[in-house]
Amino acid sequence: MAKGIEIEYIVVMNRIPELIAHVEAVSRAQPKKFADKVLSTSQGTVPVDTGELKGSGYSSSIAGGKEAEVGYTAEYAGYVEYGTYKMAAQPYLGPAFAVHAPEFIHEMGEGCFGAF
């Protein structure tokens, strides 16, 4: 080696597989967590007469955890949420979703890419 010549080594690390695994894990955890929050909030605002509607609420993980659903199985749930020509709407599920949607988007972004 000649005097005054510096050799620099550059190490390139491929973190893409690690990133993919991390995003996969977060994307499987967040939808159910979000659905549980929406269910909890909606059950706090759902109109209660007999308690059947409130008791019919559920949240479940679907599509291998990448999706979740939240809903109510009482056959009149949609009528209460959206109303009819004889009855005004008393929304409980839509507003609960709207409350938590920005938080869900933020948590997905932070959870997936905040560590990188």
**What tens digit of pLDDT does each residue of 77-86 get?**
999 999 999 9
* Reported pTM: 0.77
- For the chain, the structural domain boundaries read 34-113
DSSP string, the chain: --TT-----------HHHHHHHHHHHHHHHHHHHHHHHHHHHHHHS--SSSHHHHTEEEEEEGGGTEEEEEE-STTHHHHHH--SSS----SHHHHHHHHHHHHHHHHHHHHHTT-
Instruction: Please answer whether residues 114 and 13 qualify as being in contact, where contact means their C-beta atoms are separated by less than 8 angstroms.
Output: no
In order of 28, 35, 68, 100, 108, the CA distances from 25 in angstroms are: 5, 17, 15, 21, 11
Q: What would the mean pLDDT of 57-84 be, rounded to a whole number?
A: 93
DSSP-derived pairing of the beta strands 57-62 and 67-72: antiparallel
**What tens digit of pLDDT does each residue of 27-60 get?**
888 889 999 999 999 999 999 989 999 999 999 9
**What tens digit of pLDDT does each residue of 90-105 get?**
999 999 999 999 998 8
Is the per-residue pLDDT at 5 higher than 90?
no
CA distance 1 to 45: 77
Q: What is the pLDDT of residue 116?
A: 58
